[in-house]
Amino acid sequence: MTNVLELTGVSKTFDDIRVLHDVTLAVGPGEILGLIGENGSGKSTLIKILSGYHAADPGAEIRAGGMAFVHQDLALVASMTVLENLRIARFRTGFGWRIRWSTERAGVKRFLDQVGLDVHPDTRVGDLSVTEQALVAVARGLADIDETGNGQRLLVLDEPTAYLPRDGVERLFGVLRDLTAQGASAVFVSHRLDEVRELCDRVAVLRGGELVATVDAADKTERDLLELMLGRSVEDLYPDTASPEGEPWLTVEGLGGGALRELSFTARPGEIIGFAGLPGSGYDEVPYLLTGARRATGGTVQLDDRSVSAATLRPRAAIDLGMALLPADRARAGGAAALTVRENLTLPSLPAFTRFRSVVSRGRERKVAMEQSQRYAVTPRRPESALRFLSGGNQQKVLLAKWMLGEPRVLALHEPTQGVDVGAKREIFAHLSAAAAAGAVVLLSTVEHEDLAHLCGRVHVLRGGRCVRVIEGGELTPGRLAEAVYAS
């Protein structure tokens, strides 16, 4: 049988920078091909070329059957409904091009079920959690691929699991396996190498825009894949974390808002505290409510001897208290995509870059931006390029670096390593741990149980908006965490 997708000599140059270099690749029928590579190695660019979003440099040859895509940034419009987002490009029309809403509604139900998403099709996407949004994007991919008929079909997923909890991942894998059983193929991009090994038949590795290897997944260990990706061997992913000492100086009491009903905890300087739970449990609201990004309905936050009511807390006041928030929604809340890396980096701490408290010193900014880019291994290291020209993972590093500049005393993070490659993940962890060692409190809300288990001294498991369990010490393993999260 012929291949579903054949790429020959695909290159891509942005301005004067070549980000893809003569990539030649094929996907066979019924095959799942993993595509891995460091942040900025060109994975998304390759996929956007497939989808027609970017044009490849002249000389490339692309042969493909029917394709559907799940893009890295999800490509959803928050103000529109699940149904509209799912069907926007493929509405079925009845008499006089009228949209057949009832048919459509029934039609999408199947795909929402497939990904295990139990929401009404008329819900606004913006009202869903990031995880649920990811499932919507996957459902759209499934619906699209379903529509491409019985010929050669290829579903391309760019980091679909970045926001998914383990059960969502498993469900997705089940769906993908079913698809391939029916003869469709898939391209799967992920920074979670265990997932890649588990799901894929073959793995293509990009390094600096070049395809360095295409290997059988079964033949390689995670460590092998990692070395192929980075071109060097790597040490441990997780840093050693010192056990914190001293008196608790962050006290949160009765914090509520959104899905979160009531949460109380205390933290000592240097502690890394995790929050875990299922979507809707409120674990992912903690960073926002605590820093005033979302309006809390109640509770108090006490830092040292300063106590504030959470309901009146605003980002500005939170920052003054020494708090920092790294939100999950990079595009909307993280950084200004059109502005430069330097400008994004210095935004919250601009006064520190001024002369006479009124003139911004661009020289000082540039120097620090360069240093931060280096310290956080942002590539390409060009502080004057717009943030949106960086790959997703590198953007994430920039945004973490931006908050670190202010040397926060409380660092609240939501999915800080989403879309970040293993190497970068390691660096981010090292920075978090260093911040903790320097006396900051780090609060981490994430679906990555592995990370929680390794990094945190203690994890709060939430259900129904309340903390149902605190896991710490020897009990704190990924397995136990998952158990606690999924126990009902």
Partner 1 sequence: MKTVEKYAVLVVWALIIGFFSWRSDAFGSTSTVKLILSTQTVILIATLGVMVSLAVQEFDLSIGSVVGFGGCMVAVLDGVHGWAPGPAIIVSVLVCAVFGMLNAALSVLLGIPSIIVTLGTGTLLTGITLGITDSKVVTGISVKTVRFMTDPFLFGIPAPFYLGLLLCLVAWFVLQHTPLGRRMVFIAENREVARLAGLRVTLIRAGALVATATLGGLAGIVLAGTNSAANPQAGSYYLLPTFAAAFLGSTTIVPGRFNAWGAFVAVYFLTTGITGLQYLGYAGWPEQVFYGGSLVAAVTLSHIAGHRRMPSVA
Ligand X SMILES: Nc1ncnc2c1ncn2[C@@H]1O[C@H](COP(=O)(O)OP(=O)(O)OP(=O)(O)O)[C@@H](O)[C@H]1O
Q: What does the binding site for Mg ion look like in residue numbers (CB under 5 A)?
A: 43-44, 72, 392
Q: What is the contact mask toward partner 1 in residues 357 to 376, using x (rule: CB under 8 A)?
A: -xxx----------------
Helices (H), 92-165: 101-114, 130-147
Quickly tell me which residue has 């679909």 as its tokens.
160
Given partner 1, ligand X, Mg ion, none, residue 1, with its beta carbon under 5 to 8 Å by kind, binds none
Among 84, 195, 284, 285, binds partner 1 (CB under 8 A): 84
Among 96, 363, 474, 479, binds partner 1 (CB under 8 A): 96
Which lies closer to partner 1 via its Cβ, residue 338 or residue 438?
A: 338
Given partner 1, Mg ion, ligand X, none, residue 434, with its beta carbon under 5 to 8 Å by kind, binds none
Residues that bind ligand X (CB under 6 A): 14, 19, 37, 39-45, 72, 81, 83-84, 101, 122, 380, 389-394, 419, 421
Q: Quick one: which of 448, 444, 447, 454 has its CA closest to 476? A: 454
Please tell me whether residue 398 binds partner 1 under the rule CB under 8 A.
Answer: no
Q: How many CB atoms lie within 10 A of CB 11?
A: 19
| C-alpha of 462 from chain center | 21
Q: 407 — alpha (psi -120 to 50), left (phi > 0) or beta?
A: left
Among 1, 15, 150, 473, binds partner 1 (CB under 8 A): 15
Show the tokens assigned to 145. Answer: 């691929």
CA torsion through residues 75, 486, 253, 320, sign: negative
Spatial separation of the C-alpha atoms in residues 322 and 486, rounded to whole Å? 34
User: Closest separation between CB of residue 310 and partner 1, Å?
Assistant: 16
Q: Which phi and psi (to 5°) does residue 144 adopt?
A: -65, -45
Show the tokens assigned to 316. Answer: 């500005």
Asked if residue 467 lies in contact with residue 265, where contact means CB atoms within 8 angstroms, the answer is: yes
| C-alpha of 129 from chain center | 13
Which lies closer to Mg ion via its Cβ, residue 96 or residue 363?
A: 96
User: Closest separation between CB of residue 78 and ligand X, Å?
Assistant: 14
Given Mg ion, ligand X, partner 1, none, residue 37, with its beta carbon under 5 to 8 Å by kind, binds ligand X
Among 162, 217, 225, 318, binds partner 1 (CB under 8 A): 318
Which lies closer to Mg ion via its Cβ, residue 37 or residue 269?
A: 37
- Paired with 5 in beta bridges are 27, 64
Q: Quick one: which of 245, 223, 219 has its CA closest to 234? A: 223
Given partner 1, ligand X, Mg ion, none, residue 133, with its beta carbon under 5 to 8 Å by kind, binds none
Which lies closer to partner 1 via its Cβ, residue 53 or residue 486?
A: 53
Please tell me whether residue 55 binds partner 1 under the rule CB under 8 A.
Answer: no
Given Mg ion, partner 1, ligand X, none, residue 42, with its beta carbon under 5 to 8 Å by kind, binds ligand X
Show the tokens assigned to 141. Answer: 């991919």
Which lies closer to ligand X via its Cβ, residue 370 or residue 437?
A: 370
Asked if residue 82 lies in contact with residue 108, where contact means CB atoms within 8 angstroms, the answer is: yes
- Tell me which stretch binds partner 1 (CB under 8 A): 199-207, 265-273, 301-309, 346-354: 346-354
Given partner 1, ligand X, Mg ion, none, residue 40, with its beta carbon under 5 to 8 Å by kind, binds ligand X
Asked if residue 411 lies in contact with residue 319, where contact means CB atoms within 8 angstroms, the answer is: no
Among 31, 146, 159, 343, binds partner 1 (CB under 8 A): 343
List Cα–Cα distances, 110 to 85, 105, 117, 258, 328, in angstroms. 15, 9, 10, 29, 28
Identify the burial level of 312 via C-beta atoms within 10 angstroms of its C-beta, where 0-12 means exposed, 13-18 middle and 19 or more buried. Answer: exposed
Which lies closer to partner 1 via its Cβ, residue 77 or residue 106?
A: 77
Identify the burial level of 230 via C-beta atoms within 10 angstroms of its C-beta, where 0-12 means exposed, 13-18 middle and 19 or more buried. Answer: middle
User: Closest separation between CB of residue 79 and partner 1, Å?
Assistant: 5
User: Closest separation between CB of residue 81 and partner 1, Å?
Assistant: 10
Which lies closer to partner 1 via its Cβ, residue 324 or residue 456?
A: 324
User: Closest separation between CB of residue 61 and partner 1, Å?
Assistant: 22
Q: If you count them, how many residues does the chain have? A: 488
Please tell me whether residue 351 binds partner 1 under the rule CB under 8 A.
Answer: yes
Identify the burial level of 474 via C-beta atoms within 10 angstroms of its C-beta, where 0-12 means exposed, 13-18 middle and 19 or more buried. Answer: exposed
Among 7, 69, 303, 424, binds partner 1 (CB under 8 A): 69
Cis before residue 380, ω within 30 degrees of 0? yes
Given partner 1, Mg ion, ligand X, none, residue 486, with its beta carbon under 5 to 8 Å by kind, binds none
User: Closest separation between CB of residue 217 and ligand X, Å?
Assistant: 19
Asked if residue 53 lies in contact with residue 221, where contact means CB atoms within 8 angstroms, the answer is: no
Please tell me whether residue 102 binds partner 1 under the rule CB under 8 A.
Answer: no
Which residues of the shown chain bind partner 1 in the complex (CB under 8 A)? Answer: 15, 48, 51, 53, 69, 71, 73, 75-80, 84-85, 88-89, 91, 93, 96-99, 140, 144, 293, 315-316, 318-320, 325, 327, 332-339, 343, 346-348, 350-351, 354, 358-360
